[in-house]
Structures are given as structure tokens and as C-alpha cells.
Structure 1
Amino acid sequence: MGVKERGQQRPPLEGRSLECEGDVNHSAKTPAPASPQYTGPDPSESPMSRYDRNQATRNHRSNPCCFCWCCCCSCSWNEDRNRRRRFSRDTKLEAVPYCEVCSKPTSEEVDSWASSFEKLMKNPAGRNIFREFLRTEYSEENMLFWLACEELKKDHSKHSIEEKTRMIYEDYVSILSPKEVSLDSRVREVINRRMQEPSCHTFDDAQLQIYTLMHRDSYPRFLNSSIYKALLQNISRSSSES
């Protein structure tokens, strides 16, 4: 018959085997080249271009999360906050700028410190040893602020008082300072008003608040610390040997 039957169609090309399309065996094509082995950085590529490419990859991985106040370790705000904390801690661990000149305390004086915080703070040797303890708790700024206020009260020069007041504010009251002491809002308002006309009593309320904080918070731990116990032992040993 010269006419094809109705409904009979030629099979689509996709269904025909590849071997039937010709005498070319596609499975015998040229094998894929082996993966190149790393032989070191390309000499023609500058180190800076490699750094830019790697930096872009790292930035893509550590994009900040949607809420910058979350606890995600990849949050850029969280990284900045941790960086500021480390800077604050390192600043507090700097070398002691000065220690008060004092004589060696007697055993009676050291014993009295356990019964009275006031006696501890009135004794230069007691302040030095208590300050050493505060450094271990990263709260030395409380003692430094208290000492600075004591020095301010001894000054009578108007120009010197204004200069010292400004320095104390910048070092211990300003929220931008790594040595900022803990003060409530009421005391801060009092300081801000008094800073308009600085005097040797500008920080009286703040000094009292820090004194109370050290008395209630740090002093009990100081009495149980290894620093104070070691001092007691050394003093007792020296007294018995003499």
C-alpha cells in the first residue's frame, strides 16, 4: 500500500536509541579532563585580589540577622558589643597608676578591718589591699573614683577644682568611659546640675553611693578572699617571729 494507515506515526527522535542515529558512539567520547590539582596561588593574581574574594565569601556567611539585639553569634551588633566589653576589661587590667604611700600595717590594724569597713577605708594600707582585691573583680574603678573625690575635697583653687571635676566626670561618670561607675539616675541628675558650677562637693552624693556599694557588695567577699587571708597569715607569722 502506498498510503500510510491513519494513526501510524513515526516514533519521536527522543525515543530512538543513540546508536541508531549514526555510527558515532557517544559513550566513547573524549573522557572528561581530570580535576586540576592545586599547585599554589597563581603568580599572576595579587594577594589583595585573593583577600577581597575571600572577604566577600566570609561576609556573605556572617550577614547580621534581622534583629540586631538577638543572641546570634553572627550578629554584627553582638560582635561590637563583645568587642567593647573586651576593651573595657583590658582597660581595667592596666597597670596600677599609683598606690598610696603607707607603712606596713600591724596585726591589730589588719584584724580591725574585719570588724569595720570604715577602719579599712581610713587606713592607707587597708585601701591598697582592698583595691588589689577589687582589681580581681574588675571593679577597681569604684575605689579610684572614691579616691579622686577625696582628693577633690582637699583642693581650694577654683581653676584646679574645675579641671579635676571635668576629669572625674569624663573618667568615671560619662557613659562613654570604660571606667564608668554604677550610679542611679537621680545621682546623675544631681551631678549634671552641679557641673554647671563645679565645686569640691560636686560628687558628694555619687561618692556616698559608691562607698555604700563597696561596703555592701565587695567588702563581705573581701573578708573571705584569699588576698585578705594570706595577709592575716603573713602578719601573724611576722609577729610570732619577732
Structure 2
Amino acid sequence: MRSAAPAVSPSPVPPVCVPVPPSLPVPAPSPPARRMCFRKRPGSGAAQIYTGPDPSESPMSRYDRKQPTRNHRSNPCCLCWCCCCSCSWNEDRNRRRRLSRDTKLETVPHCEVCSKPSSEEIYSWSHSFEKLMKNPAGRNVFREFLRTEYSEENMLFWLACEELKKDNSKNSTEEKARMIYEDYISILSPKEVSLDSRVREVINRKMQEPSTHTFDDAQLQIYTLMHRDSYPRFLNSGIYKSLLQNISRSSSEL
């Protein structure tokens, strides 16, 4: 019996080497095109030849041409958005007050007709605000001081209320009350006086049927405001001190 021939292992296949083509050289970026232009140097007569890159073709120039020009406007109130409205509103209100400080109701004269005050009357104004307000000359001087502080509307409102109390005609009373409301109570008025919410509610209710006493509460509040706030500064103002100096000068000449 013949023995089986031993198994012959296949011979290994030699690896095939594939030649790799040499890498193609990457072309270097070409420098920007140079354009010959003439530049005239200051102070020289001959022009110089400039062979550098064209400034109009620089990347920044191309970028600048794409960007639209904007007019930047400075914001006077740039710290926070919440104060912009209040700042602009306050500036607008102060501007309107300065422009309208000479405007007034037709029923209120620009200057009350009065005689020259005596030295005793002028001295008494420093001791009593009530005497100052009861004297026409004193009201004129005090009103002139309020005009320098842009608060003349307080005196104008008080005088308008005094004129309203003298009215006896119903139709005329309603018309004057409406004018007083529009000029001094409305928040849209440049001569709006400072009143609290309670007094405003009372006025709004009384305006349904206006009378000579519609603004009594408001008049008292403005009177108190002038007494406590403006009157002390008036006594230290140059307007009142000049009156006292004139009295002293006149008495020394006698």
C-alpha cells in the first residue's frame, strides 16, 4: 500500500512594489500686483515713482469698501437704558420751563400795580411770609426772585386762584377753572406745579362741576411750598438784600 505524498505548502508570493510618483510642487502664492504710480513729495517739484502695492487693492481697502459708512451719534445717557427716558424727560421739561417762564394767563398781570413800599414794609417781609404775600409790592419782588429759580409758575398759580375767587359768573368761573387746570395742573403743561396725588384726585373730582373753590387745596399746598422752600432763599438773595441796602443808603443820606 502506497503512502500518501506529503502536503507541499505554497511558496509565498513576493510583494509587488508600485512606484509612487513624485509629489507635484505646490506653486507659491504670487505677490500682489504692483502698479506704478506717481507720488509727489511735499516740497519737491519732481514726482517720485512708487512701485509698491496699489493701496486701493489692499485687503483692508477691499473690506472698507464693503462696509457702509455709519454716522455714530453719541448718547448723552449711555450708562444705562433705564435712565435715558428720565434724563431726556427732565431736560425737555426744564427747557420748556425756561422758554415759557414769561408766558402767563390773561387774567394774571405781568406786574401788579402797586405803590412804592415803605422801609417798614420791606423790613416786615423778612419777619412774616404772610405780610410779604399780602403786599402787592412784596409779591412783585418775590415773583421776580422766583423767576430766577425757574419756579415762577407757583406764584402765577397762586395769583390765578385768587382771581378765580373774585369771579361771580358761572360761565366765566368754568372757563377760568379750565384754563388754570390746563396751565398749571395738567402734566402736559410746561408750567405744571408740584402737587401730590391726593390733591390731584380732589381737583379731578371738582372739575366735573368747577367752582371758585376748586383749587383751594392745591393753592394751600403751593403756598406752603413757597413758604418753606423758596422764602428762606429769598431772604438771602441779592434781590432782597439790594432793597435793604437801598433803605440803609436812603436813611443815611437824610
TM-score range, shorter chain: 0.7 to 0.9
Answer with 1 or 2: which has the greater Rg. Answer: 2
After superposition, give the CA deviation of every residue in 1:79-102 in whole Å (9 maximum; x if it has no partner): 565344322222225699610000
TM-score by length of 2: 0.71
Partner of residue 123 from structure 1, selected from 130, 135, 158: 135
CA contact (8 A) 2:97 2:150 kept: no
2:175 is matched with 163
Partner of residue 86 from structure 1, selected from 88, 95, 98: 95
1:14 is matched with 28
After superposition, give the CA deviation of every residue in 1:186-227 in whole Å (9 maximum; x if it has no partner): 000110010011000000000000000000100011111111
Q: Is 1:30–2:38 an aligned residue pair?
A: no
Q: How far is 1:77 from its partner?
A: 7.9
2:195 is matched with 183
Distance 1:172 1:61 in 2: 36
* Structure 1 ranges of 4+ moved more than 6 A: 63-67
1:70 is matched with 83
Q: Is 1:198–2:203 an aligned residue pair?
A: no
TM-score by length of 1: 0.74
Structure 2 unaligned spans of 5+: 1-17, 40-68
2:8 is matched with none
Structure 1 unaligned spans of 5+: 19-25, 35-55
1:216 is matched with 228
Q: How many residues align?
A: 205
Q: In angstroms, what is the RMSD of aligned CA positions?
A: 3.1
